[in-house]
Structure 1
Amino acid sequence: MANTVFCKKYQKEMEALDRAPLPGAKGKEILTSVSKQAWQEWQLLQTMMINEKQLNLMQPASRQYVLEQMDKFFNNEETDKLAGYVSPDDITEL
């Protein structure tokens, strides 16, 4: 049976990550409080943010921005909007 974790994004027990996705204390925090599903969703949003905002993760300010957005995402706070992005939930059929 897969390990589970109480996911702070979804507020319920869900499948846990197999290993810490980041080094250090932040990675341990994510491992113990974020589900595999929430992490996968964050990775998709993170990729869109990096591409849309043309972030260079070699720059400390860009890395800090991504970490701030990640914390907002997992805490169910509003993250920065991406220009031109329409959520599939917002699309209505004609």
Structure 2
Amino acid sequence: MSRTVLCRKYNKELPALTSAPFPGPAGIDILENVSQQAWAEWTEHQTRLINEKHLNMIDLQARKYLTEQRSKFLSGEEFDKADGYVPENKQ
């Protein structure tokens, strides 16, 4: 049986990540408090932000911005949307 966590974003028990997404305290916090579903949604949203806002990941300010947005997204707070993004019409 897979491990579950009380997901911070959805406030319900959901399947957990199998490992921390990156080293350090922030990675451990995500492992212990964020579901696979919320993390997958964040990685998709992060990609949209990087692409639509033309973020340079070498730039410290861009990385700081994404860290702030990740925290808001995973906590269920209001977060920035990607300007110009139009979701696929899945039929």
TM-score normalised per structure 2: 0.91
In the other structure, the counterpart of 1:44 is: 44
Name the structure, 1 or 2, with higher relative contact order (CA <8 Å, separation 6+): 2
Alpha-carbon distance in structure 2 between the residues aligned to 1:39 and 1:79: 15
Match of 1:29 in 2: 29
* Distance in 1, Cα, partners of 2:86 & 2:61: 27
CA RMSD of aligned residues (A): 1.4
1:10 aligns with 2:36: no
Report the number of matched residues: 89
Mind listing any 5+ residue stretches in structure 1 that lack a counterpart? none
Aligned to 1:85: 85
Amino acid at match of 2:48: M
Query: Counterparts of 1:74 and 1:86 in 2: how far apart (Å)?
Result: 22
The SS at the match of 2:21 is: coil
Secondary structure at 1:14's aligned position in 2? Answer: strand
What is the identity, as a one-letter code, of the residue corresponding to 1:25?
Answer: P
- What is the alpha-carbon distance in structure 1 between the residues aligned to residue 35 and residue 5 of structure 2? 6
- Consecutive aligned runs of 4 or more in structure 1 exceeding 4 Å deviation: none
Larger deviation, residues 42-51 vs 72-81: 72-81
- What CA distance in whole angstroms lies between the structure 1 residues aligned with 2:19 and 2:58? 24
- Sequence identity percentage: 51
TM-score by length of 1: 0.88
Give the deviation of 1:84 after TM superposition. 2.0
Asked if structure 1 preserves the Cα contact closer than 8 Å seen for 2:73 and 2:79, the reply is yes
Larger-Rg structure:
1
